[in-house]
Amino acid sequence: MDWSWIALSLIALAYVVRALLNISKNKHKRLPPGPRGIPILGNLHMLGELPHQDLLRLAKKYGPIMYMRFALVPTIVVSSPQAAEQFLKTNDLVFAGRPPHEGSRIVSYDRKGISFTDYGPYWRNMRKLCTLGLLSNLRISSFQPLRREELDLLIKSLKEAALARTAVDLSAKISSLSADMSCRMIFGKKYMDKDIDERGFKAVIQEGMQLAGAPNIGDYIPFVAPLDLQGLARRMKAISKVFDAFFEKIIDDHIHEPKEEGQPKDLIDVMLGYMGSKENEFQIERSNIKALVLDMLAGSMDTSATAIEWALAELLKNPRIMKKVQEELEKVVGMERKVEESDLESLEYLDMVVKETLRLHPVAPLLIPHESLEDCTVNGFHIPQKSRVMVNTYAIGRDPNVWTDAEKFLPERFIGSSIDLRGRDFQLIPFGSGRRGCPGMQLGLTVVRLVLAQLVHCFDWELPNGMMPSELDMTEEFGLTVPRAKHILAVPTYRLPN
Ligand code: HEM
């Protein structure tokens, strides 16, 4: 007799009975409205290749607080600024949990990072460590010279392409730049693509993000997780092996070649300083360092690059706006020198372009899923404990009650408006808000603004082969982040005197 099958069947039965009991218990309470589901899958079959867009369409019918059932998991989809405020501010603590996530269990050393870990003292402690090691204002400015150096290298290579009048793959260039900047801040040096795997560094991170964002049946029907019906766990395990070997090597390098006095410390140095120390609430071990480093890499590389790419795509599509950004740069910076980080504060129109980009193209359109830690009532609706909460910032950025001509890219809409994107104004929350909001916002915004300003200040950009701006393909590719499906190709012309 195969005991594993018997055990699995018993677990399955227990889960189903518990879920059915929960569903019938909730039946008498006033749940938010939502579409009818089908047996077993509930509403899971309603998610296509771009779930944020499917959820926006459904919310138009069922409202800004919508109840769905993804197999056994009650799911609440939040699609308006007022509703988001209820979940992320008024009841922030109740919704500060993260649902179980098979992918992060595999890749993130059993959820030892920050993004997918349970709300509680461990999470708080790790957030504090990453702020001290990487994300405080002091640390961010200490990395300013290396951002400058990396950006100069990119400008140099683009100048060569400009001389040769060749089209460059801007998406690939930006992704490399972002990876190099992140590596230097986190590991203290750049690694070549081949140092991680023959597929290359960015490809491995991007695959990880895609797998992390892909709806996994095992997250919704936990007892089938061991069967790995979609093969996601198998691919995650393969990726996790690659990361692990890479991080082990980096930690060894840091231990064997410690930094000399006065040399700037990277995140690994800072974390190693805590290893074995009694100062912390938790023992910091190698697995904690590796999980944190992975979170920081995933958090910094893909997000900033995706935002810069979307901004450039919108500028290429809207030459009038591109010109206006260049005029502002000419006025504030002039044509005799390059943009410095200290100029960013004075670039108001650029700031509006970044806001407008993140309104229409939020990098993580469904944030990272939240989970209710207890039963709660929101707007008179019962939200059961352990519901998965998805805040659809893509829908919020297009809410016609808040935004006129919502589908249009119009940075001018922010003139004279006090709407900010840091989590205070719920019309625009590309970094989330509240306890679980993005801790890397300041770093992310600095990189996005700086790179965008530099690329547009130094070069005029033209689409290749006579392509019209209106022909630029704006298709998205879904994952935890939503980058462009197609790379941007463009021909640069250098516009500064030297
Ligand atoms: C343009 C750049 C960025 C964008 C748009 C962005 C966006 C986001 C969003 C939407 C969330 C989820 C918030 C929620 O679930 O409520 C998040 C969380 C997070 N981000 Fe960022 N992010 C960016 C840059 C960064 C950077 C540079 C880092 C670190 C190096 C970072 C690290 C994290 C971490 C660790 C979390 C999880 C927080 C938690 O669960 O407590 N992000 N980010």
> From ligand 1's centre to the CA of 393, what distance in Å?
14
- One digit per residue, the tens of pLDDT, for the chain of length 498 reads 455 555 555 555 656 666 666 666 666 789 999 999 999 899 999 999 999 999 999 999 999 999 999 999 999 999 999 999 999 999 999 999 999 888 888 888 888 999 999 999 999 999 999 998 899 999 999 999 999 999 999 999 999 999 999 999 999 999 999 989 998 988 888 877 677 777 777 778 778 877 877 788 888 888 888 888 899 999 999 989 988 998 999 999 999 987 777 777 888 988 888 887 777 677 889 999 999 999 998 888 889 999 999 999 999 999 999 999 999 999 999 999 999 999 999 999 999 999 999 999 999 999 999 999 999 999 999 999 999 999 999 999 999 999 999 999 999 999 999 999 999 999 999 999 999 999 999 999 999 999 999 999 999 999 999 999 999 999 999 888 899 999 999 999 999 997
Question: Is 428 close to ligand 1, i.e. is its CB under 6 Å away?
Answer: no
Indicate the DSSP class of residue 200: -
Q: What is the pTM of this model?
A: 0.93
Question: Do 388 and 99 touch, CB atoms closer than 8 A?
Answer: yes
**Token pair of 449, please?**
């603004």
Q: Is 99 in the pocket of ligand 1 (CB under 6 A)?
A: no
Cα-flanking dihedrals φ and ψ of residue 154, to 5°? -65, -45
The residue assigned the tokens 């910094």 is 300
Which atom of ligand 1 is nearest to 88's Cα?
A: 16
Q: Tell me how far the alpha carbon of residue 441 lies from the centroid of ligand 1, in angstroms.
A: 7
Q: What is the pLDDT of residue 450?
A: 98
pLDDT value at residue 10? 55
Ligand 1 midpoint to CA 88 (Å)? 15
- C-alpha 300 to ligand 1 mean position (Å): 8
DSSP string of 136-153? SHHHHHHTHHHHHHHHHH
Q: How far is the CA of 440 from the centre of ligand 1 (A)?
A: 6
Judge if the beta carbon of residue 387 lies within 6 A of ligand 1: no
Task: Report strand pairing: 65-70 vs 370-371.
Answer: unpaired
Q: Which contacts (CB < 8 Å, 24+ apart) does range 172-175 have?
A: 172/487, 174/305, 174/308, 174/309, 174/312, 174/451, 175/202, 175/301, 175/302, 175/305
Half-sphere exposure of 357 (CA within 13 A, CB side): 33
- pLDDT (0 to 100) of residue 1: 46
Please give the CATH architecture assigned to the domain spanning 31-494. Answer: Orthogonal Bundle (1.10)
Distance CA 70, CA 74 (A): 6
Q: Where are the domains of the chain?
A: 31-494
**What is the per-residue pLDDT for 199?**
76
Q: Which atom of ligand 1 is nearest to the CA of 300?
A: 27
Report d(CA 259, CA 312) in Å as an integer. 38
pLDDT at site 18: 62
Assess whether the C-beta atom of 438 lies below 6 angstroms from ligand 1.
yes
Question: Is residue 489 packed enough to be buried (19+ CB in 10 Å), middle (13-18) or exposed (0-12)?
Answer: middle
- Predicted pLDDT of residue 274: 85
Provide the pLDDT for residue 8.
Answer: 54
Q: Are the C-beta atoms of 461 and 316 separated by less than 8 Å?
A: yes
Residue 367, ligand 1, Cβ within 6 A: yes
User: Annotated binding residue at 438?
Assistant: yes
CB of 37 sitting under 6 A from ligand 1: no
Give me the pLDDT at residue 13, please.
60
Is 308 touching ligand 1 by the criterion CB < 6 Å? no
Q: Is 81 in the pocket of ligand 1 (CB under 6 A)?
A: no
Going by alpha carbons, the residue nearest to atom 37 of ligand 1 is: 115
Residue 438 CA to ligand 1 center (angstroms) comes to 4
Burial class (CB in 10 A: 0-12, 13-18, 19+), 337: exposed
d(CA 208, CA 205): 5
Any atom of ligand 1 within 6 Å of the Cβ of 292: no
In ligand 1, the atom with minimum distance to the C-alpha of 306 is 1
